[in-house]
């Protein structure tokens, strides 16, 4: 699947790697919405080589709860000009190396809402039936 200048690819859920802690209430809300819609509408942007989730940790947790085997992903590099990362409540740039150090080397998640990823252009929306994502 391709949308504008982003390439959307179905990836095995095992490829993805959580990056931040999540809020259970938000997971429950998203789960209810996704199940009632019957479709997946937001591709998950993730780092192309490691699967580190840039944005979409809550959706990833929903996918695990629903036992989905595939997820629509946009594979990007942190060096990509379309990706900018700031602290959640600031315009101050976040040191990308801290993401890799915490997740890959320390095996720790960043605290909830540590980073805010900005994508330019905005990420596309999609409409993928959940049944397709349950297949192997």
User: Quick one: pLDDT at residue 136?
Assistant: 56
The number of distinct structural domains making up the chain is 1
Tokens of 83: 């990706």
Distance CA 40, CA 95 (A): 31
Residue 7: pLDDT over 70: yes
Running DSSP on this structure, what letter comes out for residue 104? I
Tokens of 81: 């000009």
Q: What are phi and psi of 53, to 5 degrees?
A: -75, 125
Per-residue pLDDT, averaged over 106-114, amounts to 95
- Quickly state the pLDDT bin for 5 (edges 50, 70, 90): confident
- Quickly state the pLDDT bin for 3 (edges 50, 70, 90): very low
For residue 18, CA distances in Å to 46, 51, 79, 129 come to: 10, 8, 19, 23
Instruction: Encode pLDDT of 15-61 as tens digits.
Output: 999 999 999 999 999 999 999 999 999 999 999 999 999 999 999 99
Tokens of 9: 């690819």
CB–CB of 121/45 below 8 Å? no
Q: Are strands 70-76 and 44-47 parallel, antiparallel or unpaired?
A: parallel
Helix (H) or strand (E) holding 10: strand 6-12
Distance CA 33, CA 9 (A): 23
Residue 65: pLDDT over 50: yes
pTM over 0.85: yes
Domain that holds residue 83: 2-133
Distance CA 30, CA 59 (A): 7
Question: What percent of the chain shows pLDDT beyond 90?
Answer: 94
Residue 120: pLDDT over 80: yes
Residue 1: pLDDT over 80: no
Q: What is the CATH number of the domain that holds 24?
A: 3.90.1530.10
């Amino acid at each position: 699947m391709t949308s504008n200048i982003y390439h959307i690819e179905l990836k095995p859920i095992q490829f993805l790697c959580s990056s931040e802690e999540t809020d259970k209430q938000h997971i429950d809300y998203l789960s209810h919405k996704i199940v009632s819609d019957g479709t997946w509408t937001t591709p998950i942007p993730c780092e192309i080589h490691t699967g580190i989730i840039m944005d979409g940790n809550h959706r990833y947790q929903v996918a695990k709860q629903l036992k989905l085997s595939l997820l629509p992903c946009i594979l990007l590099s942190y060096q990509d000009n379309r990706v900018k990362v700031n602290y959640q409540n600031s315009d101050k740039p976040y040191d990308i190396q801290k993401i890799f150090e915490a997740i890959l080397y320390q095996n720790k998640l960043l605290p909830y809402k540590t980073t805010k990823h900005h994508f330019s252009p905005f990420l596309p929306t999609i409409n993928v039936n959940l049944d397709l994502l349950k297949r192997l």
